Amino acid sequence: MLSEKNILVTGSSSGIGRQIAIDIGLNKGNPILTGRNIEKLEEICKLIIQEGAHPVYHQADLRNENEITDLVMSLPNLSGLVINAGIIDYTPVKFISKAKIDDIFLVNFTSNVILIKKLLEYKKINNNSSIVFIGSISSKLGVPGTSLYAASKAALTSFAKVLAIEVSAKKIRVNVLSPGLVTTDLTGNIRDKKSDGSEKDKNYPLGWGTTHNVANAVIFLLSDKSEWMTGTDIVIDGGFTLS
């Protein structure tokens, strides 16, 4: 499905990004992993190599513009890009500080804009490529404590729509996938706060998501099977927003 496509996945050292990188390899693509944790990146690359694919990794802290530049310069031309790295935050509005706003937006929004700007500037994205942003249903809801996280994902989603128009002449597609709760390191502590997880679960008609659920949709968006889709924001949440 992704034969010989070089695809960069940010935040691929764990959770959703890890699964996306593995599934790119399983679909005959060449995943390029990036994150800060080099041990995890190495371990995942070994796993992907065992499946017969050809991954590479580049360690980078996306908060640092020089490290973004080094990452971009190290890359081959890409046929796909998954903007997945992100951090969550639960700060009620009255406790927000300027430093907190800067932290969340730097990782979830600013670094991604800089990365894409540089990839375009250095002509690293091939014509007919696919760019997938991992947004969140938080950007469409009003969950207490998530204002900064939700706003950062909403900003990313708006950015993606304008980008979709700007790169359309090159037939580069840009789509956002907005998941509901998926069990990963990022959300582990939410589940731990519930004695049995039941309150959260009853709001999810199909249960909480898995990293596989999200990765399957990403593989479709990266593949030529979605060649007429751009500028969309697809909710994938096991029916949560129905209730």
Ligand X SMILES: NC(=O)c1ccc[n+]([C@@H]2O[C@H](COP(=O)([O-])OP(=O)(O)OC[C@H]3O[C@@H](n4cnc5c(N)ncnc54)[C@H](OP(=O)(O)O)[C@@H]3O)[C@@H](O)[C@H]2O)c1
Interatomic CA distance for residues 32 and 66, integer angstroms: 19
- DSSP three-state, residue 184: coil
Query: Site residues (CB under 6 A) for ligand X?
Result: 11-17, 35-37, 61-63, 84-87, 107, 134, 136, 179, 181-182, 184-187
Q: Whole-number minimum distance, CB 33 to ligand X, in Å?
A: 9
Of 61 and 223, the one with the shorter C-beta distance to ligand X is 61
Per the annotation, the verdict on 200 as an active-site residue is no
Catalytic residue among 111, 149, 152, 178: 149
Interatomic CA distance for residues 132 and 142, integer angstroms: 24
Of 28 and 140, the one with the shorter C-beta distance to ligand X is 140
Per the annotation, the verdict on 13 as an active-site residue is no
Q: Whole-number minimum distance, CB 53 to ligand X, in Å?
A: 19
Per the annotation, the verdict on 98 as an active-site residue is no
Catalytic residue among 12, 124, 153, 178: 153
Within the chain, residue ranges assigned H as helices are 15-26, 38-50, 65-74, 98-105, 111-121, 147-166, 185-193, 198-202, 211-222
Of 13 and 230, the one with the shorter C-beta distance to ligand X is 13
Interatomic CA distance for residues 58 and 140, integer angstroms: 33
Fill in the DSSP letter of residue 180.
Answer: -
Active-site residues, by number, are: 138, 149, 153
